[in-house]
Chain A
Amino acid sequence: MQETGIPAGAMLFLAVKNLVQEKTRLLISVGGVAFSVLLIMSIQGLYQGWSNKIGEYIRTVPADYWVTQTGATDMFHTPSVLPLTVRDFLTGVEGVASAKPFSGRRVAFDHNGKDINLYIIADDVENNVGAPARVVEGKAVPERGEIIIDAVVGRSENIRIGDTIPVAGRTLKVAGYSEGGYILSFSFAFATKDDAESILQLPGATNFFLVTVKDGTATGEVASRIEADPAVDAITKDRFVENNTNIVRDTFLPIILVLLLIGIAVGMTVIGLTIFTSTIEKAREYGVLKAIGVSNRQLYTVVVEQAVTAAVLGYALGAGLAVVISAAAGQYVPEFITEIRWFDAGWIFAVTVAMAVVSSLLPVRRLAHIDPAEVFRA
Chain B
Amino acid sequence: MNVVSVQDVSKTFGAGHTAVLAVDHVSLDVDAGDIVLVMGPSGSGKTTLLSMIGTLMSPTAGRVLISGQDISVLSAAQLSRLRLQEFGFVFQTFNLLSALTAEENVMMPLLTAGVSRKHARVKARASLEKLQLGHRLRNLPKDLSGGEKQRVAIARSLANDPRLILADEPTANLDAKTGQDVTLLLCETACRENRAVIIVSHDQRLRTAAKRVITIEDGRLTTEEGGQHDLHCRMHAGAGLP
Contact = CB atoms under 8 A, between A and B. Distances in A.
Contacts of A295: 76-77, 80-81
B165 to A, nearest CB: 12
B104 interface: yes
Nearest to B113: A4
B79 to A, nearest CB: 9
B114 A4 contact: yes
Interface in A44-62: none
Nearest to A284: B95
B104 A293 contact: no
B192 interface: no
Contacts of A282: 98
B194 interface: no
Nearest to A296: B76
A298 B99 CA distance: 17
Interface residues of B, number: 40
Nearest to A290: B80
A376 B100 CA distance: 21
Contacts, number: 104
Nearest to A373: B56
B111 A293 contact: no
Contacts of A293: 80-85, 87, 109, 112-113, 160
B178 interface: no
B114 A378 contact: no
A373 B57 contact: yes
Interface in B69-108: 76-77, 80-87, 89, 91-93, 95, 97-100, 104, 108
Contacts of A4: 113-114
A17 B114 contact: no
Nearest to B172: A378
Given A284-B95, A376-B91, A7 B47 contact: no
Nearest to A299: B80
A271 B220 CA distance: 50
Interface stretch (A8-16, A155-163, A212-220): A8-16
A1 B86 CA distance: 9
B168 interface: yes
Interface string A1-38: 11011010110011001101100000000000000000
B100 A17 contact: yes
A100 to B, nearest CB: 72
Contacts of B172: 378
Given A7-B114, A10-B111, A372-B56, A2 B97 contact: no
Contact of B51 (A21, A376, A378): A376
Contacts of A290: 80
A202 to B, nearest CB: 75
A274 to B, nearest CB: 15
A19 B51 CA distance: 31
A81 interface: no
Contacts of A228: none
A298 B112 contact: yes
Nearest to B156: A292
5 contacts: A7-B112, A285-B98, A292-B157, A376-B92, A376-B168
Interface of A: 1-2, 4-5, 7, 9-10, 13-14, 17-18, 20-21, 282, 284-285, 288-298, 371-373, 375-378
